[in-house]
Amino acid sequence: MGELALLRLVAQGLAGAALESPRAVAERLLCLQAQDYWSGLASVAVRGGCSLADVEAAFDAGSIVRAWPLRGTLHLLAAQDLGWLRELLAPRQLADAALREGRLGLDRKLIARATGVVAEALTADGPSSRAELNRAWTAAGIDSSGERSYHLIWHLAHAGTIVLGPTREGQQLFALSAEWLQSCPSIARGDALALLARRYFTGHGPATPADLTRWANLTAADTRQAVAGARADLTTLTVDGTEYLLGEQTQDTLSGCRKHAEAMIALTHFDELLLGYRDRSPTLPPERDSGVFANRNGVPAPTIVHKGQVIATWKRPKKGSGAAVVVTPLVPATGSVLGRAAIRAAEISGRILV
């Protein structure tokens, strides 16, 4: 399992040469879970050797965006990938959400009205915050209180009307997709499934088809078709009787950067290294799982990874408190190891304390 963990670090751009830009990070992983804005930026920065300001600049330049392409959860991705992913995956998500939207009184007629109001507001005012969209709906007599606001925005994003793009004072704004995203040709469904699998296993492998199913919320039939279409461009690795798929260059890259892959690294909440798989046990052995996912809401703690595996969690201090980060070991550790862990955590904590 140790080798699998190191290979995943390489695939995800956490070992080896830093990826050259935020867009390159997004292209490598295809999607990074990013419901927490600052942690999402830090996940890109730690892979790209860049600052949070660099990541925000990539949002402002339109090279990366945040959207809901997978599992109904916000992810960060390259702007040119959103169109084909949305065409492939949004129809199923919209169908699954229909009953919930119906309970909130969000029928087709109201959603069409809400879409028109948003299109008019964004055309007139440019990229806007969620609060500004809500004010536009209220002025038009559309109730967007409570959960209705989130689900209206979620629906409009899945329908391809809006996307989270540029930033303003540390807040990401909604823009019209037609104005913010470059138009890209459609991809036949079978080709899109194969592309999805190829990109996932290259940026996350070694992983199994079950990992892909969970990550992209695919049906079993779609997973089989996706893997079949991508297999010729991937390589395989069998461990304890389980076959894993990965990019063709991943093993060679690890051979050239093993010392770097075994070094200590600090990761934030929601990092793709833990959340990008159904089976995260190569990186987080089951006996340590409860130490990372101890939050009652299921929010993972920031982690310290050493030699490919999670060895500790860390907690950042409140801004301006002057306190040090707190490292909680999940395995027996020497003072020297804990000291290095605290240094790594402090480095990334400094990046996200804004």
**pLDDT 10s digits, 64-76:** 999 999 988 999 9
Please check whether residue 106 is in contact with residue 152, taking contact to mean a CB–CB distance below 8 angstroms. yes
Q: What is the pLDDT of residues 33-85, one digit of tens each?
A: 999 999 999 999 999 988 899 999 999 999 999 999 998 899 999 999 999 99
**What are the strands, taking DSSP E only, across the chain?**
32-33, 64-70, 73-78, 162-168, 171-176, 234-239, 242-247, 265-267, 303-306, 309-315, 326-329
Give the global pTM.
0.94
Determine the 3-state secondary structure of 154 from DSSP: helix
- d(C-alpha 13, C-alpha 15), whole Å: 6
pLDDT band with cut points at 50, 70 and 90 for residue 353:
very low
Please check whether residue 262 is in contact with residue 10, taking contact to mean a CB–CB distance below 8 angstroms. no
Tokens 């200590």, residue located: 264
- d(C-alpha 308, C-alpha 7), whole Å: 8
Q: Which two tokens stand for residue 265?
A: 């690294």
Higher pLDDT, 49 or 349: 49
- d(C-alpha 124, C-alpha 289), whole Å: 49
Domain ranges, ordered by start, for the chain: 17-180, 262-352
- d(C-alpha 159, C-alpha 173), whole Å: 17
- d(C-alpha 241, C-alpha 179), whole Å: 49
- d(C-alpha 152, C-alpha 159), whole Å: 10
